Amino acid sequence: MPLEIKEMSISYEILTLNSQVVDQIAAGEVIERPANLLKELIENSLDAGATQVRISWDKSGQSIEVADNGQGIQKEFLKQALSRFATSKIRDTDDLWKLSTFGFRGEALASAAAVSELKIISRIASTDKAYSILSSFGSVGEVENASREIGTTIQISKLFENVPVRLKFLKTPAAETLAIKNMIKAFALKNPHVEWVALCDHELQLVYAKQSNSIQRAEEVLTVKPLYEVEKIDEGMGLKIHFSDPMNVQKTGKNLFLYAQGRLIQDKSLNVAVLEAYRSLLMHGEYPTVVVMLEVPPDQIDVNVHPAKSQVKFQDPQKVFRLVHRTLKDALAQAPWAEKIKKGEPSDYRPLEINFHSQVEQPQLAYEPLFEQTNYAERLSPALQKNLVIEEVEARNLVSDSVGFWSRLRVLSQAHLTYITAESDDAFYWIDQHAAHERVIFERLSLQVSEGSVSAQKFLFPYVFDWDAHLIEVVLSQISVFEKWGFEIERMGPGSLGVVSAPYLIKERALSAFFERVAEDIKSFGTSFQFENKLSLYLATWACHSAVRAGKPMSIDEMKSLLKEMDEFPLSTFCPHGRPVFIKKEFTQLDREFGRLQS
Ligand code: ADP
Ligand code: MG
């Protein structure tokens, strides 16, 4: 059948859009998705001085309710609250610069009302009567009697039902729920004095009781403990940062929160300021937990640049960057966690408890390196190379000594929370604690693999990964490789894979990161690439995750036992990433430099 082509009629008449259309367009800007709408509602509650906020939603995200104990809305203003540009918060443009409330555009409720059924129930303190008003996709009904305590409830249902396009853009219920929960967490973090309760489909999701102190709230919300705190006031700017120590890492940046004037903001440059402060303390792909709270003089920040107000413009972004970077960096340099440990709280580092066939008995066992080692020394300038004595051959021969070369060193101290300083009869040694431990873990694992004796731990409950069926097929097709490396995996259902056991050397917390990585690579490369080699590389990375960090205080005994562990292997000149494990300086060289010895 031939296509019927209709002629388009174009009108040249210029009209002002009717308010309903305007509201719908605005709704698109302010409330892209349920979480954004929720943000607006919560902000209104906080603006109204609420100290209790109860949030519920249904899985689809199309019904949302926020109830608070704030000051309420007067009966006479209920209707107005729903109309566009109706706000009780500013009167003129001057107010824009002195803003202390979240809302001020007066468009959130109007926008939401345009694309949903929205009901307000509210009561103010001076009366015991509550009132409600219902708006259905923009058409506002009459004020009616209702009942509730002092405060306001906003009920939204059938969200976006009159804008099917928006409905189509909603993500899966799980994704919307996650976004909503993250939004609530972000508010809870910044408002410890408020009690938060959140329910999805009547099931309790989050509860945060009132807290007097923001560090406790942060530990509670982010489930990272301990966190540390630093405060700074500089040139009229106030800054407070909660931060984790460098041993306590995340595999994504999800725990970086930035607030300016109490608002959660997105700011790439400040993210960089934070990560830069941690540089050299974290490995590639590791992220800290950091909550930055900034208060800037109102005339130095514009919060009105983005409809959802998630971006701000600083008058002097450099200044803010420097303040955040410096403050955090200085705080990290003081290593407050070291204080804690000195005070008797136990440190994480334990010599590994795993027992496997002793390598000392068969030191000449030829093990094949599983991947190319980078020759670090070759990349250095000749001048530096001269000072760096990295003697692989010597070190390898030392292994057969009964006491072991490393065990015989005298440990002097830990320097810079990173290096073990030690001496032998004729030289000084600096050993990178992290690189050394990493190497030990990696060698152990490699050896176990080549002997087919990886010591694995069986989990009481398998770790389950929900992946698509195809991916699971592919992973299962490599089952023998996984087994060799000490993993026991099995299909748990059409879309889930269970990890029943894993090598001891992997900390449980690194497990999901590891499998996500593997899955991602299989997805992008298939299994045609050298899967096994790749796996060994991952293991190197992850040996690295389990190893003791730079920045971690170590006692003399801990350092000694790490050196002892180093003796278990044909050593260990480079960490699995190709950095040197130790640097040595002969005393004769030192004597020469001090002019005690003529060369
Ligand atoms: P804005 O917050 O920008 O003023 P909104 O559309 O979000 O605009 O809200 C309109 C008005 O409704 C607010 O100025 C406030 O007076 C009132 N309002 C909305 N939610 C609440 C609430 N939870 N408690 C008290 N008043 C509220
Ligand atoms: Mg508002």
| Closest atom of ligand 1 to CA, residue 70 | 24
CA 81 to CA 591: how far, in whole Å? Answer: 82
CA 122 to ligand 1 center in whole angstroms: 11
Q: Please give the structure tokens belonging to residue 153.
A: 């409830």
What's the CA-to-centroid distance between 288 and ligand 2, angstroms? Answer: 32
pLDDT at res. 502 = 87
Angle at 155 between CA 151 and CA 156, to 5 degrees: 150
Chain center to CA of 295 = 23
Residue 107: nearest ligand to its CA?
1
- pLDDT tens string, the chain, 599 residues long: the values are 444 444 445 556 655 556 665 666 555 555 778 898 999 999 999 999 999 999 999 998 899 999 999 999 999 999 988 886 667 665 555 555 555 566 656 678 988 898 899 999 999 999 999 999 999 998 999 999 999 999 999 999 999 898 887 787 777 888 889 989 999 999 999 999 999 999 999 888 999 999 988 999 999 999 998 999 999 998 889 999 999 988 888 888 889 999 998 888 888 889 989 998 887 777 777 899 999 999 998 888 887 666 566 778 898 989 999 999 999 998 988 877 776 544 544 444 333 222 222 222 222 222 222 222 233 333 333 333 333 333 333 333 333 445 678 888 999 999 998 999 999 999 999 999 988 888 888 777 777 777 777 888 888 788 888 888 888 888 888 888 888 888 899 888 888 889 988 887 777 777 777 787 777 777 766 554 456 666 666 766 666 777 777 888 899 999 999 999 888 876 545 555 557 788 888 898 888 888 887 75
Which three-class secondary structure string do you get for 151-212?
A: EEEEEEECCCCCCHHHHHHCCCHHHHHHHHHHHHHHHHHHCCCCEEEEEECCEEEEEECCCC
Residue whose Cα lies nearest atom 2 of ligand 1: it is 103
Closest residue to atom 25 of ligand 1, CA basis: 72
How many angstroms separate the Cα of 82 from the Cα of each of 48, 95, 135, 501?
16, 21, 8, 57
**Distance of alpha carbon 344 from alpha carbon 342, whole angstroms:** 5
Shortest-distance ligand to the CA of residue 151: 1
The residue nearest atom 17 of ligand 1, judged by CA position, is: 81
Residue 521 makes CB contacts below 8 A (sequence gap 6+) with: 529, 534
What are residue 273's phi and psi, to 5 degrees? -55, -40
Nearest to 294 by CA among 222, 214, 237, 255: 237
Site to probe by mutation for ligand 1, drawn from 44, 65, 76, 154 as the one with most ligand atoms within 8 Å of Cβ, is: 44
Helix pair angle (268-278, 317-333), 10° resolution? 20
Query: Counting ligands in written order, which one lies closest to the CA of residue 88?
Result: 1
CA–CA separation, 490 and 74 (whole Å): 61
Tell me, what's the pLDDT at 378? 35
Q: Distance (Å, rounded) from C-alpha 466 to C-alpha 472?
A: 9
Decide: residue 52, CB within 10 A, 0-12 exposed, 13-18 middle, 19+ buried: middle
Helix (H, G, I), strand (E, B) or coil at 53: strand
Pocket of ligand 1 (CB under 6 A): 40, 44-45, 48, 68, 70-73, 81, 86-89, 103-110, 152
Beta carbons of 110 and 83 less than 8 angstroms apart: yes
Ligand 1 atom nearest to CA at 101? 2
Beta bridge partners, 65, equal 56, 155
Atom of ligand 1 nearest to the CA of 154: 23
Considering only CA atoms, give the Rg of the chain: 31
HSE on the CB side for 151, CA within 13 Å? 18
Calculate how far, in angstroms, residue 81's C-alpha sits from the geometric centre of ligand 1. Answer: 6
As a whole number of angstroms, the distance between CA 178 and CA 590 comes to 60
pTM higher than 0.85 = no
Q: Which of 231, 221, 230, 211 is nearest to 257 (CA)?
A: 221
Query: For 450, how many CA atoms within 13 A lie in the half-sphere containing its CB?
Result: 12
Q: What pLDDT, on a 0 to 100 scale, did the predictor assign at position 429? A: 93
| Per-residue pLDDT at 193 | 95
Q: What one-letter code names the amino acid at 342? A: K
- Ligand 1, atom 21, lies closest to the CA of 44
Helix axes 34-47, 173-190, angle to 10 degrees: 20
Encoding tokens for residue 111? 């926008």
CA-based nearest residue to 490, from 513, 463, 525, 508: 463
Question: What pLDDT is recorded for position 48?
Answer: 94
Under DSSP, the state recorded for 446 is H
β-pair type (256-260, 290-295): parallel
At 529, list the tokens: 């690439």
Q: How far is the CA of 26 from the centre of ligand 2 (A)?
A: 14
Distance 162 CA to ligand 2 centre (A): 22
Cβ-contact 428, 583 below 8 angstroms = no
Cα–Cα distance between 144 and 578 in angstroms, integer? 73
110 C-alpha vs ligand 2 centroid, how far in Å?
A: 10
87 Cα: distance to centroid of ligand 1 (angstroms): 6
How far, in Å, from the CA of 27 to the mean position of ligand 2? 13
d(CA 61, CA 179): 10
Atom number, ligand 1, closest to the C-alpha of residue 151: 24
Task: Supply the pLDDT for residue 579.
Answer: 72
